[in-house]
Amino acid sequence: MSSSFTDCYDGSKIFSFLSNRIGLPIDLVNFLIAQIAALCLARLFRKPLRVASPEFRHMVCLVIGLLMGYFCFGKQAIHLSVLPMITYVLLKIFPQHIIGNIVLAVSIVYLSCIHLHRQIYHTADYTLDITGPLMVITQRVTSLAYSLQDNLIRKEINANSKGNLNDKNRIDKVPSPLEYFAYTLAFQTLMCGPVVFYPDYISFIECVRDDGMAKDKVGESEPSPRRAVIYKVAGSVAAALLYLSLAKKYPIKALEGLVDPTSEVSRSWSAVYLLWYAYLSTLVVRCKYYHAWLLSEAICNNSGMGFNGYDNDGTPKWDKMSNIDVFGFEFAQNMRVAIASWNKNTNAWLRTVAYERGGAAWRTARVYSLSAVWHGFHPGYYMTFFAGGLFTEAAKKVRVVARPLFLNSAISKLFYDSLTFLTTRVAMTYATVPFVLLHLSPSLAFYGRLYYSLHFLALGAMLLPKSRYAIASQTEPRKSNSKSIETNGEANGKLKIS
């Protein structure tokens, strides 16, 4: 471990001996220790703390979260408290009808300052820093503020209507300081999410099931999450092992050699091999996310959060706190499904605070812009989100035009599915390389080595004329029933990117 790394990292160095022995940076070692400890402590909420008062359960979540933050981030952990303090004051002093917009603006400015500080002073020094938890806290405080703002609108609608709104996500009043800070700093999801919306957190604290029934304090009215926890921990371990086995073979830093015309990458790699290497190196990066998100989800489930009712066959679902659908992403046949499978709770947050606000004409731009700023200011983020937005719109146009041509037989449909699967893999790899390279020069060199081919293809796809099949389907009369309207509304409301 270099001296510059040691000087920059503010977290605990108690386990430096373990870091040196296994060859992992101390920040990642501390992250693993903190998450394993959280997985074990989470079990307390389903057994001894099951009969404890909500106040005591709040306090335990808060204290463990604070200790975990200080262990991993040292003096930087002060930001974990400052941002919630500022936003809580805003909730108290500003009018409710604008509080969501105010909290979003202040939170993004605060987070942006921390992003810029890291980008200027600590670039590439270490992987784990305070911006990760601050990004999660930003999601929590803004979603809560917008719930309060929206509740005022619901009250006004209710006052002029005969019916009663029964929205399980409504928040009637500003939480108490204990409730607010325990929610924002709850240890289960502090390190890497997923974002937990306030009503779900309160239901967990007050032992209320997803279907609204109170959990039996003595018996077991909710199914055990043991199988889900074991499954997700196993998936997390598998992702970690895959990362360790491939990280040294396919490092993403090798693509930085594209900026040097004399390097082996520039001189001898063909475009096909470059794409293949980029796919494997970005897969390595994704494995880190899979490992962290699956482990965090297991922590939530082990504490009793995340129960989402039952399947049609009676199988309990523990996916309410799910942040990633690994197979859904890796085997997606189009960009929309791939994006919807990645960082799912962040997609829900973006839909709440950006997609559903303002006019419909700028929905996509608002979502991509907020997501980019929320991530930081490295040029690679903006290049990825621009490409992602372009490819998503182009893919929708191609699907409308081309898909009806392949529905005449099972063989042609299989060919279409195989082609779209391969195309999605190529497009997703092409789009996400700048996201992991971060910097402008290697990202432009990567696109330049491929002659910006997918950008031009996507722009060309936007000019495709509608096929006669697409025109016929649009002019064909549709049945108007409540079920179809509800389904279409849900599909249209899930524009997702993160």
CA-based torsion, 60, 66, 69, 70: positive or negative: negative
Q: Which of 79, 115, 375, 378 is catalytic?
A: 375
Decide: 321 and 196 in contact? Cβ < 8 Å. Answer: yes
CB 168 within 8 A of CB 212: yes
Alpha-carbon gap, residue 243 to 246, rounded angstroms: 5
- 138 SS3 class: helix
Helix axes 410-437, 453-461, angle to 10 degrees: 130
| Catalytic one of 301, 302, 343, 347 | 343
Q: Is 343 marked active-site?
A: yes
Residue 375 catalytic? yes
Angle between helices 271-303 and 226-246 in degrees, nearest 10: 150
Local structure of 207: helix, strand or coil: coil
Query: CA 299, CA 37: separation in Å to the nearest integer?
Result: 10
Tokens of 475: 């002019």
The whole-angstrom distance between residue 50's C-alpha and the CA centroid of its chain comes to: 29
Residue 191: CA count within 13 A, CB half-sphere:
34
Provide CB contacts within 8 A for 24, sequence distance 6+.
Answer: 32
- The residue with tokens 């009503």 is 199
Apex 152 CA angle, 150 and 153, nearest 5: 65
User: Residue 214 pairs with which residues in a beta bridge?
Assistant: 208
Strand partners, 310: 316
**Cβ contacts of 101 within 8 Å, gap of 6 or more:** 149
Cis peptide before 194 (omega within 30 of 0): yes
In the chain the first and final C-alpha atoms are separated, in Å, by 32
Catalytic residues: 343, 375
